[in-house]
Chains A and B, each alone.
Chain A
Amino acid sequence: MDAVPILKLGSTLLVSIQIDLQDQTALQLQEDLAERITQTGARGVLIDISGLEIVDSFIGRMLSSIAGISRVLDATTVVVGMRPAVAITMVELGLSLDGVRTALDVEKGLRMLRPADTTSPEALLLGLDADRA
């Protein structure tokens, strides 16, 4: 069972799911993220699902759980990169991803999590300091 890597960028945790998730791997990711949020004091969690070919009820529930867990640990979750066919299927299946914020891509997601400090790594990555100059 492969674990999903969690990267840290400033006060944001980045996760890009590039494998076909087994249920156990999804549960492990949920636990690992909760652990990393408390360890690092992260304020944002960005989850890129552009590599996912499907979001079924189990993965949908995992995304909602991660958003809920982050919220009570004082962090905001944004899910980005959902494929159009996945969005259509998920809605028809009846999944609403309650409480999950979404953005079209990583850049827009990072902007939603934009920290106030323009010298933060996230802001530098987005060129926000250049916007101001």
Chain B
Amino acid sequence: MTAVEPDTAQRLPITTDGDVVRVRQAVRALAQGARLSLVDQTKLVTAASELARNTLIYGGGGEAVLSELADGRRTGVRVEFRDDGPGIPDLDQAMTDGWTSGSGLGLGLSGARRLVEQFAIDTAPGAGTRVTIASWSR
């Protein structure tokens, strides 16, 4: 993904329920600033909420790194979720609607991917998980 401005990156810890709420609020503020449409803001914040909860529950906690994006014409928001948890052994399975290793609905990863413009995941057993999402103004 293009043209990140590292100076503006915000790092937020994800170790409690309250942190998930704070991540949502920070993503909302950036999405408004980047002039995403209301629907796109709502989708990005919802995706961030799912992924922050995954970081907390499955990753055992971690952090979110929020950045503003610009490619000259459009502005956007990128959020990276990082944890040093157990990683995801079978990514295809984890990306399937309805599949869950825990008590959730199994919509977190697969649903979040549908809600954003860009989605990337980097994980391996024992190596933690990094999920990056981004959405842009139209």
- Whether the Cβ atoms of A85 and B21 lie closer than 8 Å is no
Q: Which residue of A20, A57, A58, A89 is within 8 Å of B42 (Cβ)?
A: A89
- B:9-67 near A, CB below 8 Å: 17-18, 20-21, 24-25, 28, 38-39, 41-43, 45-46, 49-50, 53
* Residue pair A22, B39 in contact (C-beta under 8 Å): no
Q: How far is the CB of B19 from the nearest CB of chain A, in Å?
A: 10
A56 at the interface (CB under 8 A from B): yes
Nearest CB on A from B35, distance (A): 15
The chain B residue with its CB closest to the CB of A24 is: B17
B39 surroundings in chain A (CB, below 8 A) = 84-85, 88-89
- Contact pattern, B 112-135, Cβ under 8 Å of A = 1, otherwise 0: 101100000000000000000000
Answer whether A56 and B114 are a contact pair too, CB < 8 Å, given A23-B20, A86-B42, A94-B97. no
Collect the chain A residues with CB atoms within 8 Å of residue B45's CB: 53-54
Residue interface bits A38-71, CB-to-B below 8 A is 1, else 0: 0000000000000001111110110000000000
Q: How far is the CA of A56 from the CA of B114 in the complex (A)?
A: 13
For the residues of B in contact with A, the DSSP-based class is helix
**Complex Cα gap A60–B104 (Å):** 11
How many residues of chain A get a CB closer than 8 Å to chain B's CBs? Answer: 25
B: number of interface residues (CB 8 Å):
27
The answer, among B25, B38, B50, B114, for a CB contact under 8 Å with A57, is B50
A131 within 8 A of B: no
Give CA–CA (A84, B20) in the complex, Å: 23
Most buried by B among A56, A84, A95: A56
Evaluate contact between B115 and A92: CB separation under 8 angstroms: yes
Residues of A within 8 A of B41 (CB): 85
Which positions 1-59 of chain A face chain B at CB distance < 8 Å? 1, 20-24, 53-58
Nearest 10 Cβ contacts at the A-B interface: A93-B111, A85-B42, A22-B17, A56-B49, A57-B107, A54-B46, A85-B39, A57-B105, A89-B42, A94-B107
Residues of chain A whose beta carbon lies under 8 Å from any beta carbon of chain B: 1, 20-24, 53-58, 60-61, 83-86, 88-90, 92-95
Q: Which B residues fall within an 8 A CB radius of A?
A: 17-18, 20-21, 24-25, 28, 38-39, 41-43, 45-46, 49-50, 53, 97, 104-105, 107-108, 110-112, 114-115
